[in-house]
Structure 1
């Protein structure tokens, strides 16, 4: 049965790959305006929530806007509907459009803005540039009837458990016998009320990242045949994976700064960009940080980057980097629009998977305020 999803349900699906806890402290993310309980027949993904974008949403009958840049970022002391900003908010309220923002959490998330930028530029073997947290490792131990062990292993593996390096669905199994006695009112998959049951079971052990615990447990309980699922979860002393802003990695082949800058221009579809440094310098290692990455220029240098790609470069930051030998490329803040297609694609997959009759669309309005003459 196909049905429309509620805004809250769609946001929960979105937060599975861009959870709010990844956001930097103080960032204005999450629900910005509107209702979580309404149904959403149409969702728009955008970089910015400007008045022309809202006009586009109104014309298309959009119920929910998911944006990278928050609409409400600074405290509002007054709202004058004669201004563009005031009209924008007024139109959203009048047309009952909910606005949700995923800012630095989408930057930090695996497969988020910075990973998308690296993918577009062909930067490989990437690591986090600015660590902000660690996603710890946990171990799941589950006890499953032998005939259902493969189904459970597959389900938790598909949900993300047992992913180690270039391998997935990694698990260890020991065969043994469980024991339980169904009491009055129980509806056992095996056994009879009041009688001790000793089924042949497999003890399945696998590891997962802490951020995926809810998804893993849900997959386990849905695939497991028992009315009451027996499982344990342990914290592991082994280091997890670093999470944070930006990425740093290797450029596929040795290339000059000017050649790489031309590649950046094409990859991001921009009409111009700013370059700092000797155009003939060979660059092998690149750091990327979507948006305004001025305060992390020296971090990129100290981590061995030959070139740093970020937006909104300040004059004096560029001076300091230039003198220290770090080359830089500023393709503009707006290149973060790379998130629109990726987010829309992942949400569309969720709609199909959950059989939700909700359309996902991408805003086509140009929100870059700059033109190159």
Structure 2
């Protein structure tokens, strides 16, 4: 069986930390480099519920997409919710490793996993990485449905294929419009509207769309929007990442056991729909 430093080296080869945004906090948060690793849990959020799941599983390593400490801290006191997670990890000899924007840009990356979950064929990156001579890495993906599909049907497909959340899936545009090209970006994607418009796609699937950017995007072009929960658009990466580590484990004879957390760690817990009312003239 491998030690943590060997597994981390393999993960860093998949998602090199130097490709993360400068503001990001990726890499190993805690863990003994010489400790043996037999079981790995993949999750979007390194929250206490996921840490407790790792303890129950007997996992030696959590690979999370979101950082535990994105900004600096002066304490890991167990009196804080993040500090309590660190204490639980260390007491149970569980390492934590984060792959965030470096996994977003990877080939395959977070948006490839999202496209795959939605049955879309990837054409290329939405925002190509200028350091990649193959033109495959970068943020977001430009995709095609296997066959043209209406926006209404595609919205229903997204709701069916992505993990269920309280938010569900919101759609902006004519439900009868036919989609032939779709851009996707796992996680918050309204900062990429300029690139989406430049790509000339029919629809854009992402998360965390705010009122004004979404409204302006709709007014400037006939672009249709599909807005899903942040957690739901990034969760497919966990399955993709686990499969990548499985392949590495098989190649090296490590015998690792990988698991994907299915805990819904999206912060929203309920959706109250407005009652349907009849309007009489």
Task: Give the TM-score, by structure 1 length.
Answer: 0.67
Alignment match, 2:229? 332
Aligned partners of 2:137, 2:256: CA distance in 1, in Å?
31
**Residue 204 (structure 2) pairs with residue 281 (structure 1):** no
Q: Secondary structure at the match of 2:117?
A: helix
Residues 1:90 and 2:87 are matched in the alignment: yes
* Aligned mates of 2:136, 2:244 — CA distance in 1: 23
Q: Secondary structure at 1:117's aligned position in 2?
A: helix
**Number of aligned residues:** 267
For the 8 Å contact 1:270–1:331, the answer to whether it is kept is no
Unaligned runs of 5+ in 1: 137-239
Instruction: Give the corresponding residue for 1:194.
Output: none
1:363 CA displacement: 2.1
1:50 matched to 2:47: yes
Once the two structures are TM-superposed, the CA of residue 297 in structure 1 deviates from its matched residue by 1.6
Determine helix, strand or coil for the equivalent of 2:182: strand
The answer to whether the Cα contact below 8 Å between 2:124 and 2:135 also exists between their aligned partners in 1 is no
Partner Cα separation in structure 2 for residue 299 and residue 135 of structure 1: 18
More strand by share: 1
Does residue 258 of the first structure (1) align with residue 152 of the second (2)?
yes
- In structure 2, the residue corresponding to 1:350 is in which secondary structure? helix
CA contact (8 A) 2:68 2:82 kept: no
Q: Distance in 2 between matches of 1:255 and 1:357?
A: 42
1:244 aligns with 2:138: yes
For the residues of structure 2 that align with 1:296 and 1:67, how far apart are their CA atoms? 24
Superposed CA offset, 1:272-291 (max 9, x none) = 21112222222211100000
Tell me, in whole angstroms, the C-alpha distance in 2 between the residues paired with 1:39 and 1:275: 47
Q: Is the 8 A contact 2:112 2:122 kept in 1?
A: no
> Which whole-Å CA distance do the structure 1 matches of 2:122 and 2:2 have between them?
38
Q: Pick closer, same or farther for the CA change 1:116–1:34 going to 2, 3 Å.
A: same
Q: 2:198 is matched with which residue? A: 302
Asked if 2 retains the 8 angstrom alpha-carbon contact of 1:306 and 1:327, the reply is yes
Cα drift, residue 293 of structure 1: 0.6
Q: Any unmatched runs of 5+ in structure 2? A: 273-281
Q: What do the CA deviations read for 1:182-219 (whole angstroms, capped 9, x no partner)?
A: xxxxxxxxxxxxxxxxxxxxxxxxxxxxxxxxxxxxxx
> Does the CA contact (< 8 Å) of 1:36 and 1:98 recur in 2?
no
8 A Cα contact 1:310 1:329, kept in partner: yes
RMSD: 1.8
Deviation digits for residues 74-101 of structure 1 (CA, Å, limit 9, x no counterpart):
1113344233222112211222221100
Question: 2:271 — aligned with what?
Answer: 372
Q: CA deviation at 1:125?
A: 4.7
Residue in 1 aligned with 2:277? none
TM-score (norm 2): 0.88
Question: Contact 2:124/2:143 (CA < 8 Å) preserved in 1?
Answer: yes
> Does 2:14 match 1:120?
no
State whether structure 2 residue 260 is matched by structure 1 residue 359.
no
**How far 1:45 sits from its partner (Å)?**
1.2
CA contact (8 A) 1:134 1:242 kept: no
Q: Which has the larger radius of gyration?
A: 1
**Residues 133 and 242, structure 1, Cα contact 8 Å, conserved in 2:** no
Please state whether the residue corresponding to 2:123 is helix, strand or coil. strand
Query: Runs ≥4 in structure 1, deviation > 4 angstroms?
Result: none
Question: In 2, distance between residues paired with 1:296 and 1:318?
Answer: 11
SS at match of 1:289: strand
